[in-house]
Structure 1
Amino acid sequence: MQKILVARPIFPDVIERLKQHFEVDWNNGEVLSAEELTRRLADKDGALTAGDPVGAAVLAAAPRLRVVSNMAVGYNNFDMAAFNASNVLGTNTPDVLNESTADFGWALMMAAARRVTESEHWLRAGKWQKWAYDGFLGTDVYGSTLGVIGMGRIGQALARRARGFNMQVIYHNRSRVAPEIEAELNAQYVSKTELLKRADHVVLVLPYTKDNHHTIGAAELAQMKPTATLTNIARGGIVDDAALAEALRAKRIAAAGLDVYEGEPNLNPALLTVPNVVLTPHIASATESTRRAMANLAADNLIAALGEGPNAGRPANPINPDVIGKARA
């Protein structure tokens, strides 16, 4: 049987599915170090990862490796130049998490706008003694302007939710979406500068690339309204976390909601010292049905990529389809 590594703990029933096709080396413990990941991949034909970094050195040390299936939509943990140079296929799990991630983005935005975390901490500290007319005044969501940076599948799902809140939707993207999608969402394409100046609530839903590094930094935060909120459910590194912490401390923007961070699971300690930020540990897709769908799709991609028959090597979600059918370099 072909050998695979499952680099992270996942649902045991998915492991049983994989065992019907492969000899499975399952890491059901802590995150593997780079050295241990490299060692355990050395004799493998495939791998299922969940954010584990896979670069040129790992691929060079695993000469049999033909496919790495990522249990995520984003794949900035893959060095795609190295994958392409080695003719190793990468796959991901789009679509199955659109709605749960959009739900969570909405929840983070609402919590930031209405100061939910800040007021809960105050209550738990025993400080609630009386009602006050100016207690934890927040920012309205209903009837406000939503600015979406990254109008892909999840961005569009967020924009659909805005209709129920009677929001004006503006967006910025690498390229404009189709006119029929703009019409369906009642969304207006604007420059990033205009979006930052006009939006009451800015939500980031774009993939991480070198070009997108610090898409939101000190200069961009200075362009936002002092009453605005910023929500990041995309990837760490898209926001300059240090600049954001300083902007929050200085009240240059009202609040932020973050599910992703630079260098996670470590995060900038300054974020822990400002009260007007909602912090969650990368859980936007964390519903049982969605995480099961992601795990099963990652398994499906692996089975298809290493399978036999007329459709062998053709999984549903290839990241670099140009390497399909090419021998491992």
Structure 2
Amino acid sequence: MEELKVFDGGRSKFSHMTSAHPCFNEKAHFSTARIHLPVAPKCNIQCNFCNRKIDKCEHRPGVSSGVMKPQQAADRVEEALKELGGNLRVVGIAGPGEALANEETFETLKIVHERHPELIKCIASNGLMLPERIDDLVKVGVSSVTVTINAFDPEVGAKIYSWVRYHNQTYRGVEGARILRDNQFRGVELAAKAGLIVKVNTVLVPGVNTDQIEKIAQEAAARGAILMNIIPMIPLYKFKDMKPPECKDLEEARAIAEKYLPQFRLCKQCRADACGIPGREESLSPAQRAASGEYYHA
């Protein structure tokens, strides 16, 4: 097995932070703990592979055992610090819905940041509201953002998203996909200019967005992202009968994207209430194992 790489996108000014984040750094993935706080139940888009769920057993994004109130979530951080000690370095909000579509996200992070300014605060977002919430994220101590971008061409995005709800209006088809795409890349640019570390996630859906990978990587790099994470589609909702990507599909996509951005290869597609060291957690589906590199290390 080749030596694990440390990813900071070649931008040394971020290395002190990326080196401690298990979702940005392969070494930290096996030694550093993170906690996801499930305070964001609502979502403002509908992906055709997404089924949000309250469940104690299923291990995937969009799932948590419940939804916490901000104070309750902040107290959970205190418990986790006692359980994990100095290993806990990162507090994130990744659902089970869209972080930026729920004011509870900001309320929670504000409390956590006031109590623990030393902890890294991060969010995962679909990017729809990112351009207008950058300042709010900075105020509550967020230093890294992961934006999931699944299409560059709106015509392809229309195949992936059933609808996009933006400023109290619902858009469908190409129109909705274009609004989402434009806001995503604008959000990446503004976040990077604000000094946030930006990673881009892309869900690989074979036969749908395979040809979008290079375009997404190239544009994201130009806008200031420093890392990319290509993960396999888990067949759910309208895509439940579709075949997920195989290891070779992921490997080929990552090789294409790596011309523009370093690739993170150990993602486990965590639950919205995950807590612990990602590289030491079990109970992965075959699709998640493929993404994590447990079946291969490219």
User: Higher relative contact order at CA 8 Å, sep ≥6: structure 1 or structure 2?
Assistant: 2
TM-score by length of 2: 0.33
Which has the larger strand fraction?
A: 2
